[in-house]
Amino acid sequence: MVQHNLDAVSGDPNRVSAYQTESTLATGKLLAETDPSQIDPELLSRVSLQLIAIYDSISGGQSTRNVAAETVAQLARRHSAVLDLVIANAREYARTQHIDDASPYTPNSFDVLASVGQRNARVISFLEDTVRGDWGIPRWAAIEALCGLNDPTADRILRGVVQGQYPPRLLDCESDLRVIETAKWRDSNSL
């Protein structure tokens, strides 16, 4: 089993102090490279929650937040428990975007899901449910994530958005179309 200094990753898993950040990132990278059968589930959960807290903190440095998001994506590809944490955090992101009328930030759990989701039925289903039942920033984040998947099921959902099969609540579909155009343009120019 992978052992680590639990003092470095102890405490509230949703808060990471500055001194814990580097240790958490290093532990996350180690876990991402370790045989899943050799990982203590409690450590995996604690480190994953702290990595999510790092990329979810808009006060953290962008490069550190990007590394945390990529590490969580690597873990979520190999561990369904981590994917569950990312989906739960995406739901929370959606809720807070409505309550606080907050500004969207990146990376967020929708970005992680876009990285993990190609051919992943759970991710695509969650994103489709968000497109179907949400509005504004969370809906647009889900649409953008679907655009990044390069997946036939995701493309079917996006065609449905364009064709009006997923009518937006509270807003017009012009905003949805702008999100799709922007995301597809960005993807085609990033090669």
Single-letter code of the amino acid located at 157: I
Instruction: Say which amino acid occupies 83.
Output: L
**Alpha helices (H) along 1-151:** 18-32, 41-56, 62-78, 80-99, 109-116, 121-133, 136-149
Q: What is the pLDDT of residue 76?
A: 97
In this prediction, residue 5 carries a pLDDT of: 44
The Cα 147–Cα 132 span in angstroms is 15
pLDDT in tens, 10-54: 555 555 566 789 999 999 999 999 999 999 999 999 999 999 999
Instruction: Please work out, in degrees rounded to the nearest 5, the angle formed at the alpha carbon of residue 138 by the alpha carbons of 72 and 95.
Output: 85
Instruction: For residue range 53-75, list pLDDT tens digits in order.
Output: 999 988 878 999 999 999 999 99
Q: How confident is the model at residue 123 (pLDDT cuts 50, 70, 90)?
A: very high
DSSP symbol at 108: -
Q: Quote the mean pLDDT of the chain.
A: 86
